[in-house]
Structure 1
Amino acid sequence: MPLDTLTGPLGIGLAAVLGLLIGSFLNVVIHRLPIMLERRWAAECAELHPAAPAVPSSTPQAPQAPALNLLTPRSRCPACGAGIAWYHNIPLLSYALLRGRCSACAAPIGLRYPLVELLTGLGFAWVMHLHGPGWPALAWMGFVAAVLALAFIDWDTTLLPDDITLPLLWAGLLAAALGWSGLALDDALWGAVAGYLSLWSIYWAFKLLTGKEGMGYGDFKLFAALGAWLGWQALIPILLLASVLGAVVGLAMKYSSGLREGGYVPFGPFLAFGALLALVLGPATLLGWVGL
């Protein structure tokens, strides 16, 4: 099919459908990648620090964890373990037809799953609206998918995996070099530098003043990646929006007793929200919002 036939509503609709499908896969990434990382770290620790003398053969051994990656095993209901048939895994539609419940045990299915699918579909449709068919649209769709995955992983686990943040950073610089992101390479480069160093400086200033860590190194890498994609000009409005929104959500969770152990709220989801808002509205609009 010629690319020029994918302009207008047809292209936007197909991009939305692609986004729904990718969003379904992102749910797998969000759930499984942290588990895969924990297993990898445990294996590396075991190699560096071998276990003490072997236990007697009569001692029960922990069962071997089943192999897990992003493709296998097939998705299952976390409540009853029943496999999910393909026709029960159609983005948005299956959730609506099943009324948000497992077809086998009727356990409720979290609203998170259709939400991720919907956000990805909307993001892909908006990217196609902005760029039309071509490599720039595919590049920005990858950006949307990666940022959404990072936001939800960080919210669940307070992890921002290098497996996503670092490829996202390098992809932003490469997209600028190839002319796909619409950003000059020097703006992307300095966006990455400013993104990392700004949060790194805030981290150390806060730690020196309070003796506590206010954020993790994953936040530095994510902000650097956002700078590589959106330019240094977008960093200030993204950071301000993320800080205000994070403070509001944190206070709401505190007064509703919703804070997790330690009383902290991950910062990555709010950086991601600011970045997606910058993609939709443009950095200039966000700068106007904050009076700059």
Structure 2
Amino acid sequence: MSGWFTIPIITQMSDMSVMMILCVFCLGGCLGSFANAAAMRLVRKEDIIYQPSRCRTCKRPLHILENLPFIGWLRKRGMCHCGTIKLPYRYVLVELAFAGLIVIYTLTMPAMTAIGFSIAAIFIGISMLTDAEAMILHPTLLSILAIIGMIFAVIGSVFPNMGFASPISWHLTPIQALWGCAVGAVTPLSINLLYRLVRGRNGFGEGDFWMLGAIGAWVGWQGALSILVLAAASAALCGLFMILTGKASILTRLPFGIFLGGVFILWSIFLM
């Protein structure tokens, strides 16, 4: 894989107007705002497409200024519309994280790759948020993510001679994307079956198979296995810290999707 992140960001910024960077930053904030809203509604089994945004306390629909990323949260000083409850910092932090991530993708990746991984980040972000709040990973959402990854691989294969640095290029062939999806799904499933034979309980949640399978369609089977190992190591260290600080026990379940998604995002920035 090519080290896109090694391209000096300062050099890239000199070629791109400040206004363009600001637009990309705002777009990323909007994507983060959508991820927040979609995750909240999926956990509560609400419509994520057609239902207008509203105050969770008084149910009044929000107007456009209240829906703007960063600004909506700051205008109310982190309070809901009617001032009854304080909103978690998670909302503005997710918006800032998405804004920064999309800017990094734009500055360091070919155009098609930046667009593709920006789309993937939305699905991964929603999945991480639903897993954090309710330990839920939605198979339908992750299946769509896998299909989109394969579509980008097919599109990239149409332009095989344009070179890796071309705006229209992709790092996987359709076969590699398919293998990545299969290996990503089957590996944790196999590990889980073995774990059940030994310990009599599941080691992975069902959604974890879907998530790593979807990730495999974007990074290939080698990337999927590497992300699984790094995510498992991160989860183990986190669990150990929580046990030592008295915040968990050996039987405490952790939302593994957070670790898979987090490592995938870091992978896309530093190792792709």
Q: Flag whether TM exceeds 0.5 (same fold).
A: yes
Match of 2:101 in 1: 123
Match of 1:26 in 2: 35
Match of 1:75 in 2: 53
Match of 1:289 in 2: none
Match of 2:142 in 1: 165
TM superposition score normalised by structure 1:
0.76
The alignment of Structure 1 onto Structure 2 pairs a total of residues equal to 245
Match of 2:121 in 1: 144
Consecutive unaligned residues of structure 1, counting only runs of 5 or more, are: 1-5, 37-67, 284-292
CA distance in structure 2 between the aligned counterparts of 1:205 and 1:12, rounded to whole angstroms: 49
**1:80 and 1:105 in contact (8 A); partners too:** no
Quick one: which of 77, 96, 107 aligns to 1:99?
Answer: 77
Measured at CA, do residues 253 and 80 of structure 1 come closer, stay the same or move farther in structure 2, by a change above 3 Å?
farther
Measured at CA, do residues 104 and 255 of structure 1 come closer, stay the same or move farther in structure 2, by a change above 3 Å?
farther
1:236 aligns with 2:236: no
- CA shift for structure 1 position 132: 4.7
Deviates more, 1:6-15 or 1:109-118: 6-15
CA distance in structure 1 between the aligned counterparts of 2:174 and 2:22, rounded to whole angstroms: 31
Measured at CA, do residues 82 and 252 of structure 1 come closer, stay the same or move farther in structure 2, by a change above 3 Å?
farther
CA distance in structure 2 between the aligned counterparts of 1:32 and 1:154, rounded to whole angstroms: 13
Consecutive unaligned residues of structure 2, counting only runs of 5 or more, are: 1-14, 157-168
- CA shift for structure 1 position 277: 0.7
**2:57 and 2:82 in contact (8 A); partners too:** no
Secondary structure at 1:182 match in 2: coil
Quick one: which of 22, 26, 33 aligns to 1:17?
Answer: 26
Kindly, what percent of the aligned residue pairs are identical?
27
Match of 1:89 in 2: 67
CA distance in structure 2 between the aligned counterparts of 1:258 and 1:9, rounded to whole angstroms: 45
What letter matches 2:126 in structure 1?
A: A
Measured at CA, do residues 143 and 79 of structure 1 come closer, stay the same or move farther in structure 2, by a change above 3 Å?
same
What letter matches 2:125 in structure 1?
A: L
**2:55 and 2:81 in contact (8 A); partners too:** no
1:154 aligns with 2:131: yes
Measured at CA, do residues 274 and 82 of structure 1 come closer, stay the same or move farther in structure 2, by a change above 3 Å?
same
Measured at CA, do residues 204 and 35 of structure 1 come closer, stay the same or move farther in structure 2, by a change above 3 Å?
same
Q: Deviations over 1:58-85 (max 9, x none)?
A: xxxxxxxxxx411454333334444433
Match of 2:3 in 1: none
Higher radius of gyration, 1 or 2: 1
What letter matches 1:150 in structure 2?
A: S
Deviates more, 1:160-169 or 1:105-114: 105-114
- CA shift for structure 1 position 248: 2.3
- CA shift for structure 1 position 157: 1.4
